[in-house]
Amino acid sequence: MKLLLNIEDQILRLIKNKKVKVDSENEKEELKSYLLKYNYINVIGSTKLLFATGYDINKKEHIYEELTDYKDIIDLYDKFLKFECILREGILDYEIQLKVMLSLYLKQLFDKEKIGFKIFIESIQNRSNENIFNSKEKEKYISHWNRKISEYSEKHKDKMYINYYTLIKILSFGSIVKILSSFYEGKSILSQVQKFIEKENIDFKIYNDLSTMNILRNALCHKEPILIFLNKGLLKDNMPNHAKSIYNKRVRCIKNIYCDYLKYQLPRSSIIDQFSNLRCQRT
């Protein structure tokens, strides 16, 4: 286990162990300020995957044979910060739209079945006919729902399920994913919502593998660098007795939001596409 270093030792380690080029005290202070702002682990833990020249399996540490200018590290990390900012806003917008689609479908379902949120939450099940929420989760969501409804007048309380803002405030993205992967009276909720979207001719796509999208959403909201997010996928793929293709799912999820949903284009041979190859050459 690596020891936690103070900022002075972090700079010294970068210069001596990782061959980061820092020529003056002013440059050292600039790098120090940057690391204090963005966190050594985030900045170096992500960019080192691109400027390391090898990996020592026995020592379990990267090898650095070439000098890397500290300004190049800052420039690279700044570019990814901008990319992550766009991606984060995109996935949060997607989350809101997904909740809107679910809430509009639920309005239709509740009207037809003459039920409310409480009965719905207590009734939905997984493929094994087990409740997807335990008793504490059910109690929490129903309590939150009732509390939000209590903010409205008596006249409108019974119809508050039509207000998607209520759903947005009480259900997390992870809970939405759980609901969409479950069944109500034997019917897939995801399939029913997709049919509703098609019937209403709404321009919105529910992507496959929402579970990975939820992981990406949480990583971005906690400011985890996208390269670390991808690297974790590679590491999990290499674990024995572990499901494969996690890395590919993560790349596909990023591209779904950035390219398909937001309509941006990744550059040819982008690091996002080529990351596994770049890293594999160094391990």
In the predicted model, is pLDDT for residue 259 greater than 90? yes
Decide: 220 and 88 in contact? Cβ < 8 Å.
Answer: yes
Q: What angle do CA 199, 204, 209 make, to 5 degrees?
A: 110
Per-residue model confidence as pLDDT tens digits over 230-255: 999 988 888 776 666 899 999 999 99
> How far is 271 from 278, CA to CA, in rounded Å?
8
Count the neighbouring beta carbons within 10 Å of the beta carbon of residue 151: 9
Picking from 128, 213, 119, 118, the residue whose alpha carbon sits closest to that of residue 172 is 213
From first CA to last CA, the distance across the chain in angstroms is 20
Q: Which residue has the higher pLDDT, 215 or 60?
A: 215
The residue-averaged pLDDT of 83-90 equals 97
Q: What angle do CA 205, 122, 97 make, to 5 degrees?
A: 20
User: How much of the chain, in percent, has pLDDT values that exceed 70?
Assistant: 88
Dihedral, CA atoms, 154, 155, 160, 162, nearest 10 degrees? 180
Decide: 55 and 282 in contact? Cβ < 8 Å.
Answer: yes
Per-residue model confidence as pLDDT tens digits over 36-47: 999 999 999 999
Please give the sequence-ordered ranges of beta strands (E in DSSP) within 125-224, or none if there are none.
183-184, 187-188
pLDDT band at 150 (very low <50, low <70, confident <90, very high): low
In the predicted model, is pLDDT for residue 207 greater than 80? yes
The residue-averaged pLDDT of 167-196 equals 90
In the predicted model, is pLDDT for residue 171 greater than 50? yes
CB-based contacts of 167, cutoff 8 Å, min separation 6:
99, 102, 103, 106, 161
Looking up tokens 């409804």, which residue turns up?
149
Q: Which residue has the higher pLDDT, 141 or 83?
A: 83
Per-residue model confidence as pLDDT tens digits over 190-199: 999 999 999 9
- What does the mean pLDDT of the chain come to? 87
Q: If DSSP codes are grouped into helix, strand and coil, which group holds residue 183?
A: strand
Residue 22: phi and psi, rounded to 5, are -130, 115
How much helix, strand and coil, in percent to the nearest 5, is found in the chain?
65, 5, 30
